[in-house]
Amino acid sequence: MALAEELRERGEEPVAISCDALQVYEGLGVLTGVATAEEQRELEHRLVGFVPITETFNAGDYMRLAHVEVDRALDAGRTPIVVGGTGLYLRAAIAELSLVRAPPESEESELWSPQTRHPTVIFGLDMDRARLYERIDARTEAIVAGGAEEEVRRAEALGPSRTARKALGFDELLAGDIEAMKKRSRNYARRQLTWMRKIPNLHQIDRTTLSDAQVAKQMIDGPISRP
């Protein structure tokens, strides 16, 4: 949101394109952290909340839709902000991702080749691990307070697909185990950071002491040339 505001001040028209594998599902907005209705009025978000909870959805499905959204934004003179926490979906959004399984020894290089469909600047946000875990725990509690448990139970009653059930915290909330949800979230964050550091041409920002506005300014004014 801060990056979008900074871009507008510079005369650009941003649009957010989610690359989160679970924010695609209808009815899991609280659990998966989809932008609120107010935030979406401020900044248009694409590829969130459009897949029925009963349907399966994969990276191939996402790639086709994401390419359309990115191209549409660029054709309209807009600046797409591809944002989210799923490494495979990020790659699918910005490149031609091979959907043929590669041999294990070549999987990493195949996934994170430096080629992208359009000139792209990739940022990865990191922070002090203890602070990160504090934020994760606080965010988990906020998600629960926001009605995530009720949301999950409604989804469960509809018969969620196997891919929808992968939403972080789904099974834990059904069991009423918030501490297990926090632990799983912390473990997932570590895996996200591992994926992030494998991305070629990544510009990493330690945001431990930075505000959102400061991070956004560093993205735009940092020592790189934007496409």
Q: Where are the domains of the chain?
A: 2-221
Q: What is the DSSP string of the chain?
A: -HHHHHHHHTT--EEEEE--SSTTBTT-HHHHTPPPHHHHHHS-EESSS-B-TTS---HHHHHHHHHHHHHHHHHTT-EEEEE-S-HHHHHHHHS----SPPPGGGHHHHHT-S--SS---EEEEE--HHHHHHHHHHHHHHHHHTTHHHHHHHHHHH---TTGGGSTTHHHHHTT-HHHHHHHHHHHHHHHHHHHTTSTTEEEEE-TT--HHHHHHHHHHSSS---
Superfamily of domain 2-221 in CATH is P-loop containing nucleotide triphosphate hydrolases (3.40.50.300)
pLDDT per position in the chain (227 positions), as tens?
A: 999 999 999 999 999 999 999 999 999 999 999 999 999 999 999 999 999 999 999 999 999 999 999 999 999 999 999 999 788 899 999 998 775 554 554 444 456 677 899 999 999 999 999 999 999 999 999 999 999 999 999 999 999 999 999 999 999 999 999 999 999 999 999 999 988 888 888 999 999 999 999 999 999 987 555 55
User: pTM of the full predicted structure?
Assistant: 0.89
Q: Quickly tell me which residue has 């996402």 as its tokens.
A: 62
